[in-house]
């Protein structure tokens, strides 16, 4: 897993120009560019690095500062990513079966934004300081984020429980009004059950005995 920053599938996008000027000027203007990497810092939204058409490589651009086409920001900026980054240790995952699927994003106010799947971020423990101070691998707390391109060009980073997927050849049952599934709280480890020992040899297909 990378630490802090990772390359991402390149995506042509537009940057709200005021974020290139610390929100001090150029409101309502846009710069065209290509998203090339993402940075994950606990306590922050996703931060992107974008190569602009003028040759500038601009970093630390928040998710809500970028869209695939110029768009009016319809929601408060904190609606676009429900949870901050859980760890500086993460991986970029392109889930093949979800590639290009249509998906509804259920926002904080329960409004729906329609979009299409791009890729995902999964979190891991961060032990760079000698101990893991994150909850990234706690089964009841881990929240994988999926990057969604809205129909209007806005970008969203949302966890599983805020998404409704559409796959016409498989998803045929109605979506529950409010799914009542319960969060997983368990760690499933196959070791530590019973008293076992392997044979004392160099064989590849060794025997396991129960004591």
Residue 2 has pLDDT above 70, yes or no: no
pLDDT, tens only, 16-59: 999 999 999 999 999 999 999 999 999 999 999 999 999 999 99
Task: Name the domain count of the chain.
Answer: 1
pLDDT band of residue 70 (cuts 50, 70, 90) is very high
Digit-coded pLDDT (tens) for 98-153: 999 999 999 999 999 999 999 999 998 887 777 677 766 776 677 899 999 999 99
Predicted TM-score of the model (pTM):
0.87
Closest CA to 85 of 48, 55, 118: 48
pLDDT at 184 over 90: no
Most confident of the following: 64-78, 166-180, 189-203: 64-78
Categorize the per-residue pLDDT at 177 as very low, low, confident or very high, splitting at 50, 70 and 90.
Answer: confident
Query: Residue 8 above 80 pLDDT?
Result: yes
Q: CA–CA separation, 93 vs 149, rounded Å?
A: 16
User: Residue range 75-82: average pLDDT?
Assistant: 96
Number of H-type helices and E-type strands within the chain: 0, 13
What span, in angstroms and rounded, lies between the C-alpha atoms of 102 and 150?
10
- Contact between residue 40 and residue 129 where contact means Cβ atoms under 8 Å apart: no
Q: How far is CA 40 from CA 89, 140, 159, in A?
A: 8, 21, 16
Contact 35, 49 (CB under 8 A): yes
Domain encompassing residue 109: 5-210
Give the range with max mean pLDDT: 121-135, 154-168, 174-188.
Answer: 154-168
Give the dihedral sign, CA 48/11/34/2.
Answer: positive
On average, the pLDDT of the chain sits at: 90
């Amino acid at each position: 897993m990378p630490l802090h920053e990772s390359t991402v599938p390149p995506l042509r996008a537009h940057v709200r120009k005021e974020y290139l000027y610390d929100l001090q000027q150029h409101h309502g203007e846009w710069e065209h560019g290509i998203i090339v990497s993402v940075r994950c810092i606990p306590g922050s939204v996703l931060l992107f690095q974008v190569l602009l058409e003028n040759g500038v490589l601009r970093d630390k651009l928040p998710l809500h500062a970028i869209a695939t086409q110029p768009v009016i920001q319809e929601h408060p900026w904190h609606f676009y990513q429900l949870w901050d980054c859980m760890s500086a240790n993460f991986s970029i995952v392109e889930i093949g079966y979800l590639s290009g699927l249509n998906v509804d994003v259920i926002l904080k106010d329960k409004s729906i934004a329609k979009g299409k799947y791009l890729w995902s971020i999964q979190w891991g423990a961060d032990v760079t300081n000698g101990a893991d101070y994150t909850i990234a691998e706690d089964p009841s707390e881990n929240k994988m984020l999926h990057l969604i391109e809205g129909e209007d060009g806005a970008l969203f980073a949302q966890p599983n429980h805020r998404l409704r997927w559409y796959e016409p050849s498989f998803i045929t049952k109605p979506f529950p009004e409010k799914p009542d599934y319960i969060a997983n709280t368990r760690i499933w480890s196959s070791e530590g059950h019973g008293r076992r020992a392997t044979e004392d040899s160099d064989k590849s297909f060794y025997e396991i005995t129960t004591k």
